[in-house]
């Protein structure tokens, strides 16, 4: 338990080493075995689409592209960090299924979802979903050396740039038909068709292009990544509050009434990482000046027990006080990043306290993985899936891997 980790009476390095040990154990013994033991479909290939909050498996559920891409990324990244060949085997299982079932061989790109039998269930092309296939395929290439994975990542990147980019006002639109015709469909929380640009899509394109650039340091990717970073610094991050603007119209004017503390804290370290990978010193300096203000903005959602609530509606004043799994994971990573940037041990304390909350409340030691969310009174919200279209091994595994690889 984290109660044994304290920076009182010991140096910060020792606290970080103990944190690394504990999250590694959680990753290797709890998170990854859940997915490799319970979610692999040996009959139809790929992975089952859903396990609910009561740990009931739904073998006939549709399979989300985001879930499958995130599984591919997770096991590829785990193999690269830990060198356990069983992780590469699971990643290869995911890769082969994606290549066979999710990639659109006629129009290009990846489907939103497929049926349990592997037929397209929702053939639309969502920019957010494409981002995760780029992210995952480039990671699998770096893990396996399989050039087919990088080739597909390049192709999806080119489709996104060709069809999803807004050449007039900059940035990327959200949803397209199977044959890449723009639609006004709402898929990730937009209220109406005036919400033309979303922070969420741009954030995950940012991480996808960062990973693609690691695998393929091409000047076109560099240009698109640099543009995305500048969109954050100039359009998406509110200079007055430090919060990210969640929804915007076609001209980047805010249409949002939300503060999303989870996305704020996640963006604080992802944008820093992107600028670092790009290697542009001036851009890195510009980004560095924004990281801590974003962290401070996110801390408005920080609770006395170390957890981070999801979001708040600024018009109604209503706060979603659930402690969803993913903001907790991102908070640990972001606070450690803030500590490394500033040397301020209060950030390390916040990271350790958030991990303590996770370890005590979110980790399911009986059935594996983490619970989807915990209510404000500490009860498990069983309405949320244990595994599903959005509940996946990516946020929590990535936090563990970021800690394991930290120097």
Q: In Å, what is the CA distance from 44 to each residue of 19, 68, 154?
A: 39, 14, 28
The reply to whether the predicted model has a pTM over 0.75 is yes
Checking if the pLDDT of 226 tops 50, the result is yes
Report the distance separating Cα 22 and Cα 26, nearest Å: 6
pLDDT of residue 4: 45
Lowest mean pLDDT across 12-16, 26-30, 230-234 = 12-16
pLDDT of residue 80: 98
Confidence of residue 1 (pLDDT cuts 50, 70, 90): very low
First to last CA, the chain: 23
Q: 382 with 54: CB under 8 angstroms?
A: yes
pLDDT of residue 210: 98
pLDDT of residue 10: 60
Helical segments of 160-242, H only: 199-215, 219-231
pLDDT tens-digit series, residues 264-296: 999 999 999 999 999 999 999 999 999 999 999
Q: 352 with 1: CB under 8 angstroms?
A: no
Q: 135 with 204: CB under 8 angstroms?
A: yes
Dmax of the chain from CA atoms? 62
pLDDT of residue 406: 87
pLDDT of residue 240: 96
pLDDT tens-digit series, residues 78-110: 999 999 999 999 999 999 999 999 999 999 999
pLDDT tens-digit series, residues 115-151: 999 999 999 999 999 999 999 999 999 999 999 999 9
Q: 116 with 61: CB under 8 angstroms?
A: yes
Q: 170 with 231: CB under 8 angstroms?
A: yes
pLDDT tens-digit series, residues 162-207: 999 999 999 999 999 999 999 999 999 999 898 999 999 999 999 9
Report the distance separating Cα 232 and Cα 221, nearest Å: 17
Q: 144 with 88: CB under 8 angstroms?
A: yes
pLDDT of residue 169: 98
pLDDT of residue 2: 38
Q: Is 175 exposed, middle or buried (0-12, 13-18, 19+ CB in 10 A)?
A: buried
Q: Residues 215-232, buried b or exposed e (16+ Cβ, 10 A)?
A: bbeeeebbebbbebbebb
pLDDT of residue 185: 94
Confidence of residue 9 (pLDDT cuts 50, 70, 90): very low
Class of domain 7-404 as given by CATH: mainly alpha
Q: What is the mean pLDDT of the chain?
A: 96
């Amino acid at each position: 338990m984290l109660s044994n980790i304290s920076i009182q009476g010991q140096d910060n390095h020792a606290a970080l080493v103990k944190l690394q040990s504990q999250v590694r154990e959680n990753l290797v013994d709890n998170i990854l075995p859940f997915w490799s033991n319970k979610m692999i479909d040996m009959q139809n290939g790929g992975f089952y689409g859903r396990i609910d909050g009561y740990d009931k498996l739904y073998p006939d559920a549709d399979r989300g592209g985001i879930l499958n891409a995130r599984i591919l990324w997770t096991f590829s990244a785990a193999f690269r960090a830990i060198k356990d060949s069983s992780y590469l085997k699971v990643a290869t299982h995911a890769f082969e299924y994606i290549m066979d079932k999710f990639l659109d061989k006629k129009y290009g790109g990846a489907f939103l979802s497929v049926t349990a039998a592997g037929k397209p269930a929702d053939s639309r092309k969502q920019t957010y979903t494409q981002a995760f296939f780029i992210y995952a395929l480039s990671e699998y290439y770096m893990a396996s050396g399989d050039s087919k994975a990088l080739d597909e990542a390049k192709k999806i990147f080119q489709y996104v740039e060709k069809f999803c980019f807004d050449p007039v006002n900059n940035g990327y639109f959200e949803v397209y038909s199977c044959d890449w015709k723009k639609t006004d469909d709402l898929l990730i929380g937009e209220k109406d068709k005036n919400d033309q640009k979303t922070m969420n899509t741009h954030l995950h394109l940012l991480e996808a292009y960062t990973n693609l650039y690691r695998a393929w340091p091409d000047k076109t990717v560099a240009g698109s990544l640099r543009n995305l970073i500048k969109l954050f610094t100039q359009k998406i991050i509110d200079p007055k509050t430090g919060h990210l603007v969640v929804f915007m119209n076609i001209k980047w004017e805010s249409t949002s009434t939300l503060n999303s503390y989870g996305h704020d804290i996640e963006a604080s370290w992802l944008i820093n990482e992107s600028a670092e990978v790009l290697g542009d010193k001036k851009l890195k300096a510009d980004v560095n000046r924004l990281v801590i203000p974003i962290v401070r903005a996110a801390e408005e959602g920080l609770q006395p027990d170390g957890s981070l609530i999801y979001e708040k509606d600024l018009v109604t004043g209503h706060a979603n006080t659930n402690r969803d799994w993913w903001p907790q994971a991102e908070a640990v990573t972001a606070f450690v990043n803030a500590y490394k940037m500033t040397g301020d041990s209060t950030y390390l304390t916040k990271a350790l306290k958030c991990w303590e909350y996770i370890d005590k409340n979110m980790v399911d030691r009986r059935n594996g993985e983490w619970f989807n969310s915990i209510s404000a009174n500490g009860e498990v919200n069983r309405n949320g899936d244990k595994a599903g279209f959005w509940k996946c091994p990516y946020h929590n595994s990535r936090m563990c891997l970021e800690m394991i690889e930290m120097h």
